[in-house]
């Protein structure tokens, strides 16, 4: 469902350094949208790794707009939360109000700063695929033995430490996903939008998720996780983690997410539970092609949560 929403220019007297406010109107109501800029989402030197004509990896450091990514909320609505950017003119991003999620983007050819505000409907996914199976039985023997050997250990409290934490993520776009959009600039832009959403999801837990580097497999997959020699998705991702650790050891990062345009071993996403401290198991995979970028970001946040040792909510778990 889409509607033309009116976004006026900034509220007078409301702008301070790093903050913006706009009057918005959608769903028949008027609101004041407050925005606060995010800092340091990117490293000073952000490498984008692609393949040259000979198939060898090459690094580039393209110009990427900074200080134009925002956390936002609606005045007077405590549960509202948004992720927006102004990098390419107008407002682009997502806004959650109550249990509803809206996408905001500029209305093309509008001279009145009008925006298209669309209500996002959840994907119609079968119950079999909707349920996460990461905590199930799809693990490899080496991983299980290592987890047992480390017990007893500290409880999974990564997100409860009272100081701010930083997670540097290495994103990879597989060749199958690249073929669906071969514009390198747009790929970089989409990864930044996705990471901006993931950052918003975690920021209230004092965890800041930053982009460390991006690999685009534009010629072929540098590592094929669909190989038949792998016993399953857990084995494939463990081998990818080991390969990635060796090839990109000069780029320090905490975890990796491989985005694909095809399902792997009949799964839509996977991560090793509590794998953050082991280079083999701190990688994950997300089948991104069938999702809107917002849902792709929430799934990415979900797999990161598993890597950080967070289990699924139990029956007695309540949000607060």
Binding residues: 302, 306, 312
Q: CA 141, CA 274: separation in Å to the nearest integer?
A: 15
Contact yes or no for 269/303 (Cβ under 8 A): yes
> Among 161, 74, 92, which residue's Cα sits nearest to residue 83?
92
**Per-residue b/e over 196-213, b at no fewer than 16 CB within 10 Å?**
bbbbbbbbebebbbbbbb
Cα-based distances in Å from 36 to 24, 72, 102, 293, 308: 16, 6, 19, 22, 27
Give binding residues for Zn(2+) as ranges. Answer: 302, 306, 312
Do you know the residue count of the chain? Answer: 320
Contact yes or no for 104/3 (Cβ under 8 A): no
Contact yes or no for 292/120 (Cβ under 8 A): yes
Contact yes or no for 193/92 (Cβ under 8 A): yes
């Amino acid at each position: 469902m889409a509607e033309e929403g009116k976004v006026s220019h900034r509220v007078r007297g409301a702008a301070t350094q790093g903050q913006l406010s706009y009057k918005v109107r959608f769903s028949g109501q008027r609101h004041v949208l407050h925005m606060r800029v995010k800092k340091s989402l990117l490293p000073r030197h952000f490498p984008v790794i692609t393949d040259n004509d000979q198939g060898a990896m090459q690094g580039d450091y393209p110009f990427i707009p900074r200080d134009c990514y925002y956390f936002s909320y609606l005045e007077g609505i405590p549960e509202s939360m948004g992720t927006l950017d102004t990098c390419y003119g107008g407002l682009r991003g997502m806004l959650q109000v109550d249990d509803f999620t809206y996408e905001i983007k500029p209305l093309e050819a509008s001279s009145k700063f009008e925006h298209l505000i669309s209500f996002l409907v959840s994907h119609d996914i079968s119950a079999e695929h909707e349920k996460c199976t990461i905590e199930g039985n799809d693990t490899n023997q080496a991983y299980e033995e290592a987890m047992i050997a480390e017990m007893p250990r500290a409880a999974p409290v990564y997100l409860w430490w009272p100081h701010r934490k930083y997670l540097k993520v290495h994103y990879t776009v597989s060749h199958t996903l690249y073929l669906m959009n071969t514009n390198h600039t747009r790929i970089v832009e989409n990864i930044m939008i996705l990471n901006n959403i993931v950052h918003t999801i975690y920021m209230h837990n004092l965890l800041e998720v930053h982009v460390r580097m991006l690999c685009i497999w534009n010629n072929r997959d540098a590592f094929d996780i669909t190989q038949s020699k792998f016993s399953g998705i857990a084995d494939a991702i463990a081998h990818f983690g080991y390969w990635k650790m060796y090839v990109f050891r000069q780029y320090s990062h905490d975890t990796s997410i491989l985005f694909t345009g095809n399902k792997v071993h009949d799964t839509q996403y996977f991560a090793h539970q509590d794998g953050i401290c082991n280079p083999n198991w701190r990688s994950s995979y997300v089948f991104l092609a069938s999702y809107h970028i917002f849902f792709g970001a929430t799934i990415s946040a979900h797999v990161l949560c598993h890597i950080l040792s967070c289990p699924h909510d139990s029956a007695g778990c309540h949000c607060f």
